[in-house]
Amino acid sequence: MQRHGILRFLVFVVFFSTGAVALGGAVLCDDFIQYCRNKQLVREARLSVRRLESLNAEYDVLIEQLQSNPDLLRRIAPVTLGAEPNDPNTVYPRARARELAIARKVVMDQAGEDPVEVAIPRWLQRCSDPAKRIILFVSGASLILIAMVCFSSAEREQE
């Protein structure tokens, strides 16, 4: 008799837990998808923060160099402002449009401007289909009902 009760309890636990997982998955499918998207957005935000921190560090070094070496400012100013350099003893190379385009492309590739696709698990994508969600909900509810009706502890009549 004791074995029968243990077996009945184990079958009840298996049916009830499977039904509860299926029912919960059907109900919370949209929340799981939103969670995956938010996780990806947080990952992208962290990458952006790291890029900005590295740029800040580079600019801090550049500002420090400009403060310590005033000649550097005199050399950078004409290029930055687009003015013609007027030093007669220096040759300034001219950049062609093609070279600038290639350099711009390399810088943009390093910056990672391409949006990263959201990584939603395949099983979650399949479960998000409305017809499959309804089937998952009904099957989960059915398993819970079967567990409650067929495998719950039987009340013994007292005589």
Q: Which of 68-72, 77-81, 122-126, 141-145 has the lowest mean pLDDT?
A: 77-81
- DSSP labels, 35-75: HHHHHHHHHHHHHHHHHHHHHHHHHHHHHHHHHH-HHHHHH
Read off the pTM.
0.58
Dihedral (CA of 132, 137, 141, 147) sign: positive
Joined together, the tokens standing for residue 39 give 């996780």
Residue 159: what pLDDT?
45
The 10s digit of each residue's pLDDT in 33-59 is: 999 999 999 999 999 999 899 989 998
**Can you tell me which residue has the tokens 């007292």?**
158
The b/e string for 68-89 (b: 16+ C-beta within 10 A; e otherwise) is: eeeeeeeeeeeeeeeeeeeeee
| Position 26, amino acid | A
**Could you give the 3-state DSSP secondary structure of residue 84?**
coil
